[in-house]
Amino acid sequence: MALIHFIERELVLEEEMFNRGKDRFFANIARLKEQRNEGGTTYGKMLLKRGIAPLAAAITAFMEKANSGTAGRRHMAVALLKDIAPDVAAFITLRTAIAPLTSEPMLQNVAVRVGREIEAELRLSNLKQNDADRYAMTQRYIQGHKSRKYRSTVLRYAYGKSTTVDFEPWPLAQCLHLGQKLIELAIDSTGIFAIELTSNKVRKGNKDMAAYSLVMTPALKEWMDDHLESRSIMAPAYMPTLIPPKPWEGACGGGYYFQAMRPLSVDPETGDEPDGSREHPFAFLYGMDVKNGSYYSYEGKLWLAKADMPACVWTPGTAGLWQWEEASAA
């Protein structure tokens, strides 16, 4: 059997690896969304990591201004936040708000949940300081459980049994106002969230009040689309090769053939073999070795590589990447 036949079968197999990897990636995203646990997604982890510092700084500035002695009524949140570190409050706020991010939840519901999570953190801190044994027991019970309802139940039970701690549960209004202030600070400082008026109404007494949703900013939506597309092809479902693996040259470039073989195919229209020139650019493929000064075609455009990029996973046109320069339409 001709070698070209084995190579063609190998390329088909490796393309299947990439497609299976993408399917697996998006299935995991869908599962986490269904669980309302988007903090566990790749984008959720990145947003959480990047958002803590600016939100903690905003909380610190808010508290300092409130405690500076200037005239005016102090926000209810000031008293509730005085015993919690700004970075901890920032982490709890972002973790709670990111969890249902793409479902565009009702702002009021997220705000109350943020307030309740802050309350639970302060309760645990109080228990740790004043009843260390019961705190250790409580931690053993709630460790590994993601259900907020379960953790709240265990915490209430621990407080009921303890004779050395006293923590008055917060009224719903306090949780709501605290959560709203923290979300407001997150909106101003992180660029993750925005508030949007919905067609729904909230019943308050005898009146129907306007309802708002917590949504992603347009910039975040655009970033997330790019992030999901790029990350989905970074974890192929690897399988053994049908032919001997491609020899390694240094630290990269070996193993699989898909990225390296495809650019060598001739142009179906002209019959010319690509050489990386402006007239005969290489077709860019994920994971290929990119050479400085060579031209590449990608999604109908021509790109010039400004640096060597071994096993390149950054597609031409990636925002903020100077290594690619658009030359003209391909």
Say what the pLDDT of residue 265 is: 39
DSSP string computed for 189-258: HHSSEEEEEEEEEEEETTEEEEEEEEEE-HHHHHHHHHHHHHHHTSS------SSPPBPPBTTBS-B--H
Say what the pLDDT of residue 88 is: 96
Categorize the per-residue pLDDT at 249 as very low, low, confident or very high, splitting at 50, 70 and 90. Answer: low
What percent of the chain is modeled with pLDDT above 70? 83
Categorize the per-residue pLDDT at 270 as very low, low, confident or very high, splitting at 50, 70 and 90. Answer: very low
Beta pairing, strands 324-329 & 193-204: unpaired
List, for residues 305-318, the tens digit of each pLDDT value: 999 988 777 889 88
Say what the pLDDT of residue 330 is: 44
Domain residues of the chain, as ranges? Answer: 35-217
Of 261, 280, 278, 276, nearest in space to 308 by CA: 276
Q: Is residue 69 over pLDDT 80?
A: no
Stretch 114-137: mean pLDDT: 86
Of 315, 255, 323, nearest in space to 283 by CA: 315
Stretch 200-215: mean pLDDT: 78
Say what the pLDDT of residue 114 is: 98
What would the 3-class secondary structure string for 132-197 be?
HHHHHHHHHHHCCCCCHHHHHHHHHHHHHHCCCCCCCCCCHHHHHHHHHHHHHHHHHHHCCEEEEE
Query: How high is the mean pLDDT of the chain?
Result: 83
Say what the pLDDT of residue 195 is: 96
Most confident listed range (67-71, 113-117, 135-139, 151-155): 113-117
Contact 174, 76 (CB under 8 A): yes
Please tell me the distance from the alpha carbon of residue 229 to that of residue 40, in angstroms, as a whole number. Answer: 17
Of the listed ranges 16-30, 111-125, 203-217, the least confidently predicted one is 203-217
Say what the pLDDT of residue 32 is: 95
Say what the pLDDT of residue 232 is: 87
Q: Is residue 211 over pLDDT 60?
A: yes
Stretch 6-23: mean pLDDT: 86
Report if pTM > 0.85. Answer: no
Stretch 226-242: mean pLDDT: 84
Stretch 287-299: mean pLDDT: 85
Say what the pLDDT of residue 287 is: 64
The CATH code for residues 35-217 is 1.10.1320.10
